[in-house]
């Protein structure tokens, strides 16, 4: 597993045709991405940007616990289409979550401890039998995947896991 992987932009997590990154790094991306970000109302709160390489569409995502949680939740996403129309989606029941948040930011990001985030990712990614198609939702992660991680390492919390290993 290569934990130092970076995108051509030097930042971001790539999933399929999408790149996810913290809005603090918009300036590192091509100007047309920045221009689209200026179209978003200042009333809409977001901290994550998703850009699709194939469609050129963007989403502006609000993850309120991004800096506090090892698996932050998504509560809303404003999708900006190429014709500049938009649609907001709210996630209330079983919201999506992010993993590997260290990939969304630069190594000098001050919002959370990058090294602890990498360590947590490295530990849970080594647990056999986790269903990668399902652990992207809070219910599955907290009720199935995370208990498997705790059982595998014989711990009862993330803090204990990080201290033990």
Does residue 59 share a domain with residue 19? Answer: yes
Mean pLDDT, the chain, as a whole number? Answer: 91
> Is residue 84 classed as helix, strand or coil in its secondary structure?
coil
Residue 22 inside a domain? The answer is: yes
Task: Over range 49-56, report the average pLDDT.
Answer: 94
CA distance 104 to 39: 22
Does residue 128 share a domain with residue 63? Answer: no
Dump pLDDT digits (tens) for 111-140.
999 999 999 999 999 999 888 778 889 999
Does residue 133 share a domain with residue 79? Answer: no
Task: Over range 74-101, report the average pLDDT.
Answer: 95
Residue 106 inside a domain? The answer is: no
Task: Over range 62-69, report the average pLDDT.
Answer: 97
**Residue 50 and residue 9 in contact, taking contact as beta carbons nearer than 8 Å:** no
Q: pLDDT grade, residue 96 (50/70/90)?
A: very high
Q: How far is CA 134 from CA 4, 12, 101, 139, 141, in A?
A: 25, 22, 18, 9, 8
Does residue 127 share a domain with residue 82? Answer: no
Task: Over range 42-52, report the average pLDDT.
Answer: 95
Number of domains, the chain: 2
Task: Write down the pLDDT at residue 10.
Answer: 81
Does residue 72 share a domain with residue 38? Answer: yes
Does residue 81 share a domain with residue 38? Answer: yes
Residue 118 inside a domain? The answer is: yes
Does residue 31 share a domain with residue 74? Answer: yes
Does residue 149 share a domain with residue 82? Answer: no
Does residue 130 share a domain with residue 65? Answer: no
Task: Write down the pLDDT at residue 134.
Answer: 82
This prediction's pTM = 0.89
Exposure pattern of 16-45 as b/e (b: 16+ CB <10 Å)? eebbbbbebbeeebeeebeebbeebeeeee
Task: Write down the pLDDT at residue 160.
Answer: 94
Q: Which domain holds residue 144?
A: 111-164
Residue 99 inside a domain? The answer is: no
Q: pLDDT grade, residue 6 (50/70/90)?
A: low
Is the model's pLDDT at 65 over the cut of 80? Answer: yes
Residue 39 inside a domain? The answer is: yes
CA distance 143 to 139: 6
Task: Write down the pLDDT at residue 3.
Answer: 39
Task: Write down the pLDDT at residue 8.
Answer: 75
Is the model's pLDDT at 9 over the cut of 90? Answer: no
Q: How far is CA 163 from CA 54, 95, 113, 153, 157, in A?
A: 42, 28, 14, 12, 10
């Amino acid at each position: 597993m290569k934990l130092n992987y970076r995108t051509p932009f030097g930042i971001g997590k790539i999933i399929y045709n999408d790149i996810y990154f913290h809005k603090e790094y918009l300036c590192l991306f091509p100007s047309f991405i920045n221009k689209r970000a200026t179209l978003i109302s200042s009333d809409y709160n977001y901290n994550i940007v998703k850009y699709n390489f194939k469609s050129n569409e963007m989403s502006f995502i609000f993850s309120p616990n991004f800096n506090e949680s090892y698996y932050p939740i998504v509560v809303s996403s404003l999708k900006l289409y190429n014709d500049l129309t938009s649609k907001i989606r709210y996630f209330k029941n079983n919201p999506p979550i992010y993993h590997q948040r260290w990939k969304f930011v630069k190594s000098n990001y001050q919002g959370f401890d990058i090294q602890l985030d990498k360590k947590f990712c490295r530990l849970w990614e080594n647990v056999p039998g986790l269903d990668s198609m399902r652990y992207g939702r809070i219910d599955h992660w907290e009720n199935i995947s995370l208990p498997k991680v705790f059982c595998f390492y014989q711990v009862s919390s993330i803090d204990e896991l990080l201290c033990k290993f």
